[in-house]
Every structure is written in C-alpha cells, then in structure tokens.
Structure 1
Amino acid sequence: MSWFTQLKNKKGSVTIEFMFLIPLFMFMALFIWQVVIAGLAVMNTQTALQDAVRVASITEDEDAAREQAYKTFGNPSSYKLSNLSIDVQNDRAVVTAKTDIDVLFMSSTISYTKTAQAPVLK
C-alpha cells in the first residue's frame, strides 16, 4: 500500500487535529494579548515617571508632580497605577511608581515597580 492510500484511509484525523489546535491557538492569542497589555503598562508607567520627575525637579512641588503623573498615566482598564511616591530632597527628585497589571485568564495581578530620579534645577 502506498502512503497516499494509507492517508486516505485515516478518516477523521483532520477533525481530531483541528480540535486540538483550536484551543492551542486560543491560548497563544491570550498569551500574546497579555504580553501586549504588560508592554503597554510598562511604557505608560515609564512615561508617567519621566513626566513626574521632570515636574518635581523643576518646580519642587510634589503635588504638581503627582497630578502630572496621574494625568499622563490615564485610566486604562487592564492595569492601574497603584502606588506613587515622590520625594524631593536637597538636590534630587526621586519618583517611584508601582503598577498592577491584571492577568486576563486568572484573578491575580502582576506588579511592576520602577524608580526615576533627576537633579533639582534651582
């Protein structure tokens, strides 16, 4: 028997392969979407940090820096800025932010923490 006739005799194998591959592709798509959301959260956090440390180093006003950070970060639904600490002392402005990223298919979160600092301009 040739390989072609053996292949023709295996009826239903395409359906079984299809049934196994569809969930695999769905999980791959969810994983890729989770990576995209995490990347957006990291970029948003870093941008908010840069803006906050810039305002803090120029004005030495922690409230204005906090307001600028929240304004820059926005209000996305998949991740949130859970903690923001701003410290302006002597000649340094230090801003630390913690972002909680929701996991799509679980009830847990991923935390991302970043610190930025700049010299105070007088």
Structure 2
Amino acid sequence: MERKRPMGIALIGSFYIFGSIVLLLSLFVYELPFEKYGIAARLGLPNVPEHLARFLVGASSLVMAYGYLKLKRWGYWLMVAYSIYFLTVSGYLFILYKDQPFLGNIIWSLIVIAYSYSKRSHFYMKPQQIRVGG
C-alpha cells in the first residue's frame, strides 16, 4: 500500500525550513530592535552568544526539517525530541515571565508533537512504500 506525505508534515517541515532560513539570514543583522527575547533565551541558553545560537538552531533546523519532510525515522525523532525540549523550556519560561512568545511556543510544540505522533506510521514505512507528493 502506497501512501503520500501528509499535508501536515509538509506544512510543519516547511515552517521549520522557512524559520531556519530567516534565522540564518538574521545573522547579518546586528540587532533586531523588535525582538524582546533572542533565540538563545527562548531555548533556555541565555549564556550562549546570540549569533552562535542563531547559527546552530538555524542549521540544525534545516537538517531536522529535511529528515522530517523526507519521512526519515531520524527526522521524526529529532522533531519530537526538539519539540519536547522546546515545550519544556517554554513552559518553564512562561511560568517565570508570563510572556506571549513562550505561550505561543508551548502551543506550537504541542501541535507538532501531537500531529507527528498521529502520523508516526509514515516514518516507519519502507522507502518503496512512500510516494512523496502528488
């Protein structure tokens, strides 16, 4: 039985690719004046330099999203692990600061975890059973 990639997986993977490209492009901007919390703070790593955090998160998100979009098991597990970590850190920071970016991160992480779990069978199919697109 052939299955194609679910639209939700395509959307989640595309959001992560878009976000990682924006993060990598933001390396060329010295400081973003509208951003109250940097990516390092959002990940619970306030002592990590912001540009290093942006590069590492942007590059690793590209790899993670590629594996997720290609329905690779490692892409699924990286996405789930990252989402659980992001959920945990955002939950802690939301309790600490009661600020919107952390609540939005909590909601997004829950959506990604729940949807990925509901479609986990797509990541465990043999490559010849997967039809991407169309």
TM-score (norm: length of structure 1): 0.32
Q: Which has the higher contact order (CA 8 A, sep 6+)?
A: 2
Q: Which has the higher strand share?
A: 1
TM-score (norm: length of structure 2): 0.29
Q: Which has the higher helix share?
A: 2
Structure with bigger gyration radius: 1
